[in-house]
Chain A
């Protein structure tokens, strides 16, 4: 056995400007063990249900994360609507689907840029984020916000997308698709990229399940599980099948996200074509009494909200289990045995969002 040294990774690191800390136990250049630490900026947002009523709390839920903010709001609203047995208008379900998939595209492009930056491909990073800006422009035009959409509420949606906006959005997405194909081609076929990703950080199918992995981390290991199969929002009326890869390495996780970019475009187009006319929200009366585990597929994987109400305007309990929190054990597993130089890339392959995790 060689000499063992502990190298701290984070909470401040050039590759990941979010506070996660990992003690890397290394022998020469090989990592033999990784011990994670989070909780540096835990915000205790869950207890704010005691101060904000259940209608206002959607604003807090959206602020759990700046990337998948809309889907946090959607998960919360769907949970409360289940408890209160509110039937959301079909048009609102389609609007939620469209904004959710736009969120997924911009989140995956954000990840693509960070990943490219992580393995030193600066121009790929810049191109990924340039295209992401175009998606953010669409989000801004349809919701009024670029980070916090504020367009989801208990009972439906706050905003509608006009036919003119929809036509413009679909035209813009054609441009985005062409640009994304160029980026994805580099991610999937460039030798220098494949050299950094193929065969690195392998998680087997059995490990992915037993370690509680979710999202592209789970699907990259051959498990075609996706909460959109629950048919929430408009997914019950749209053609959708989860994307998965079987190799379980960094390249597989990357490929799943790349394929999901185009799948999300397809879902948006389907939703735009099938969206019915009508109301976008119903009036909500009364207070939630009951409980529900609300599960939705975020860009990083399954998010779970436990919502419990006792008939008053303030919920008894709001609990959020975010996808990054679930993927930390898988990260620990994939780091053990890797080369020290691969650590930043491996951390990025789970697409960590510490802002979510420190809710």
Chain B
């Protein structure tokens, strides 16, 4: 095995406090990731300290899920939080740099929670063409 990876279940309500504890120990935010599992979203917050990998995990409903922002602890989380907001529709409360759904330019809203990806997205009509 390349490395041991610790996955810890947390509640969204205690997320910020748990993340703050890791930050105080010197952990680096590695990534935030959402994964669709049927009608739920699996949220992963990964951290690293000297190649010790720790991951916080909790579940949200597929639509309408809300999470508190951790940008007050790790400012760099703004990129990940805008990403999960744009691609998965997760509502992040308190993002320090909120692009309000305009971080990614996508052909459809929240494409990563849609059931099927269309084979091709129709091109916008050219001006003057009926």
Within 8 A of A (CB), among B1-48: 1-3, 5, 23, 26, 28-31, 33, 35-37, 44, 46
Question: Contact residue range for chain B?
Answer: 35 or more
Interface of B is mostly: mixed
Does A42 count as interface, using CB distance less than 8 angstroms? yes
Within 8 A of B (CB), among A202-237: 209-212, 225, 227, 229-232
Closest to A319 in B: B33
Does A325 count as interface, using CB distance less than 8 angstroms? yes
Within the complex, the shortest CB–CB distance from A292 to chain B, in Å, comes to 7
Does B69 count as interface, using CB distance less than 8 angstroms? no
Q: Is the CB of A212 within 8 A of B30?
A: yes
Q: Is the CB of B55 within 8 A of A211?
A: no
Q: A39-B104, A321-B33 are in contact. List 6 more A-B contacts (CB 8 A).
A: A82-B1, A82-B2, A210-B74, A211-B75, A317-B35, A326-B30
Within the complex, the shortest CB–CB distance from A71 to chain B, in Å, comes to 15
Residues of chain A with a CB closer than 8 A to B79's CB:
325, 328-329
Given contacts A42-B106, A230-B3, contact A225 B74 (CB under 8 A): no
Scoring A residues 310 to 328 as 1 if CB is less than 8 Å from chain B, else 0, what string do you get? Answer: 0000001101010001101
Given contacts A39-B86, A50-B117, contact A293 B5 (CB under 8 A): yes
Within the complex, the shortest CB–CB distance from B5 to chain A, in Å, comes to 6
Q: Is the CB of B26 within 8 A of A209?
A: yes
Q: Is the CB of A232 within 8 A of B2?
A: yes
Choice from B2, B53, B75, B102 contacting A210 with Cβ under 8 Å = B75
Q: Is the CB of A293 within 8 A of B46?
A: yes
* A-B pairs, 8 with minimum CB distance: A39-B104, A329-B76, A212-B76, A321-B31, A317-B35, A212-B29, A42-B104, A211-B76
Given contacts A232-B2, A317-B35, contact A304 B46 (CB under 8 A): yes
> B residues within 8 Å of A by Cβ?
1-3, 5, 23, 26, 28-31, 33, 35-37, 44, 46, 50-51, 53, 55, 74-79, 86, 97, 99, 102-106, 111-112, 117
Within 8 A of B (CB), among A280-306: 292-295, 302, 304, 306
Closest to B97 in A: A35
Does A37 count as interface, using CB distance less than 8 angstroms? yes
| A–B Cβ pairs within 8 angstroms, 12 of them | A41-B105, A42-B105, A47-B111, A47-B112, A82-B1, A211-B75, A211-B76, A295-B3, A304-B46, A319-B33, A319-B35, A325-B79
Choice from A42, A306, A325 contacting B44 with Cβ under 8 Å = A306
Roughly how many angstroms separate A298 CA and B2 CA in the complex, as a whole number?
16
Closest to A48 in B: B117
Within the complex, the shortest CB–CB distance from B17 to chain A, in Å, comes to 17
Q: Is the CB of A40 within 8 A of B105?
A: yes
Residues of chain A with a CB closer than 8 A to B55's CB:
293
Q: Is the CB of B50 within 8 A of A293?
A: no
Scoring A residues 4 to 48 as 1 if CB is less than 8 Å from chain B, else 0, what string do you get? Answer: 000000000000000000000000000000010111111010110
Does A78 count as interface, using CB distance less than 8 angstroms? yes
Closest to A294 in B: B2
Residues of chain A with a CB closer than 8 A to B44's CB:
306
Within the complex, the shortest CB–CB distance from B75 to chain A, in Å, comes to 6
Roughly how many angstroms separate A308 CA and B57 CA in the complex, as a whole number?
14
Roughly how many angstroms separate A293 CA and B50 CA in the complex, as a whole number?
16
Choice from B26, B35, B99 contacting A306 with Cβ under 8 Å = B35
Closest to A50 in B: B117
Within the complex, the shortest CB–CB distance from B110 to chain A, in Å, comes to 12
